[in-house]
Structures are given as C-alpha cells and as structure tokens.
Amino acid sequence: MNKIKEIIKKLWQNKKTRFGLIVFSFYLIIAIIAPIIAPPYRENDPYIVKQTGFSAIPQKPSLKSPFGTTQNQYDIFYALVWGTRMIFKITAKVIIISLLIGIILGGVSGYFGGIIDEIIMRFTDIILSIPSLILAIFVIAILGPGIEKVVIAISFVWWPGYARIFRGEILKIKSMDFIKYSQMIGAKTLWIFKKHIIPNAIYNVIILASLDISNIVIIASSLSFLGLGSPPGYSDWGQIISVSRNWIISGLSSIEYSHTVVIPSLFIFFFVFSLNIISETLRDIFDPKLN
C-alpha cells in the first residue's frame, strides 16, 4: 500500500505524468458519477443510450444534448459518459480474471516445474503465437457477441502473458535460500507461496498489468466496434465509433456533422493518451529496479 502511494507521488512530480494523472482521474470521476450527470434513460438498463428525438439526422450540440446526437438521435454525451463507466468495468474485470489465472497457472508452472511446467508453457506459447485481436474474435465467434463474452475472450487471450512473467519471477525466487529454509523446516507449499513467493513475485506482474490497461481498452473497443461486443444502441465506445462511421459511409456526412466524429474521437483519445503517458513514466520508474 505504501508503495502505491510512493509511486503516485513520483508520478505527480513529473509534469507530463501529472497531466496524465489528472486526465485519468477526470475519467474515473465521470465513470463514478455517471448516474448523476447522465440520469439513466431506461431503468432496467442504464447503458441503453438516450434518444432525444426521432430525426434520422444527427443534431448539433445544444443545451438539450451538450455533445449533440448521432443519426437516430442517440445522445453522444450520454453514450460517452456511460461508455466510460462500461470501459472501466470491462478493464477491471479482465485484469482481475487474467491476473488470477495467470498467477495460479504461472505459479504452479514455475514452482513445481517438470511436466506440468512444460505443458503449461507450451499452452501459453501457442496462445501467444496468435495475434490477440484475432484470437479474441475467434473466442467470441464461439461464445456469441456480448459484453460479458468480450470480458471472457480478452481474459483468455491475456492471461498467458501474466503467467509467463510470474513464472519467470518464481524461477528467480525459487533458488533463493529463504525458500530453501522454509522448505527445510517443513513449511507447507501453500505457506511458502503465501508468505514468500507471491509477495516477491507479484510486484512485476502488477506493474505489467497496470501498463496493460490501455491495450485492454483498445482491444475491448475494437471488438465492440466490429460488432462483436455490445449490441447497437448501447453505451460503448466501440459502438459509438461504429455509429459514427456508419454516418460517414452513408454519404450524407459533411463538415456540418463533424461533432459526430470529432467529439467521440477526442474523448476516447484523451483517455488512452493519459494512460500512455502514465505508462511511459511507470516503465522508467521500474526499469532500473527490474534489473
């Protein structure tokens, strides 16, 4: 816990990263207060985008809809705000699930070695040899579209990376004498994992996970954009871009409707950009120590 405070302090000191942290917190706050600033349109499912009217043509920003609307009157502000909440939910779930699986399998693999290690490592090798978006598309083809399926698909593609890193850390630690000592005095394997291995090995994995957030956001949005995630009319960044694109392709678009493209793009861009700035500095902080 103290270490996290230390890290945030260091990030704050760097001017670039301070900007990144502020922007990121801004989005975090939006995600949390979404029900307040964009009151749920439908009670059963607040993620269904508010529609402000019946026109098929996008409306410019006004008092009624601060960011304007897309075709069929989907309120862009509503969609982006609830989409922020959605993306935080998806990313958090993916990271937790893939970390859990990665640590368990990587841990078993690294600590016990032998055939189990071989099998698990071959398995991760194979998954890692297929580009992540492609494999995620495959998994969704099997499971069917939907947000929960997106979470499962991305977690499936993501855990091998964590498993490998964790295993590597364990191999480094396994040969340390303090592990041998615990084994020699008869400590059970679970005890050794809990007290010695995990506290030492997990550090790097957590860092990796935090650097990964922007990648997960991009792949989740990409899957939605391709129509494999949320259904149409849902508050999801990928969906919004897809709707935006449809209007351009329809041939009816022109500079008048730039708000349908520019606003969502800038909104998503700043989020990813802030994450990237933070990642860069995080990497620098931890690099010398990693060695």
Q: Which of residues 212-241 bind another protein (CB under 8 A)?
A: 214, 218, 221-222, 225-228, 238, 241
* Of residues 63 and 134, the one with the C-beta less far from another protein: 134
* Of residues 43 and 288, the one with the C-beta less far from another protein: 288
276 binds another protein (CB under 8 A): yes
Q: Which of residues 191-210 bind another protein (CB under 8 A)?
A: 191, 195-196, 199-200
Nearest residue to 80 via CA among 116, 38, 43: 38
Q: Which of residues 119-178 bind another protein (CB under 8 A)?
A: 122-123, 125-127, 129-135, 137-142, 144-145, 176-178
* Of residues 40 and 211, the one with the C-beta less far from another protein: 211
23 binds another protein (CB under 8 A): no
CA distances from 165 to 58, 112, 155, 179 (A): 48, 16, 16, 19
At residue 176, what is the residue type? Answer: M
Neighbouring CB atoms inside 10 A of 3's CB total: 9
CA distances from 114 to 86, 121, 154, 271 (A): 42, 11, 29, 44
CA distances from 265 to 122, 178, 200, 245, 271 (A): 40, 52, 40, 11, 10
258 binds another protein (CB under 8 A): yes
Distance CA 154, CA 90 (A): 10
Distance CA 266, CA 176 (A): 49
Q: Do the Cβ atoms of 187 and 128 come closer than 8 Å?
A: no
Q: How far is the CB of 52 from another protein (least distance, A)?
A: 23
Please pick, from the candidates 265, 284, 287, 290, the single residue that binds another protein as defined by CB under 8 A: 265
Please pick, from the candidates 268, 278, 281, 282, the single residue that binds another protein as defined by CB under 8 A: 268
Distance CA 170, CA 121 (A): 14
* Of residues 30 and 268, the one with the C-beta less far from another protein: 268
Q: Which residues bind another protein (CB under 8 A)?
A: 122-123, 125-127, 129-135, 137-142, 144-145, 176-178, 180-187, 191, 195-196, 199-200, 214, 218, 221-222, 225-228, 238, 241, 244-245, 248-249, 253-255, 257-258, 261-262, 265, 268-269, 272-273, 276
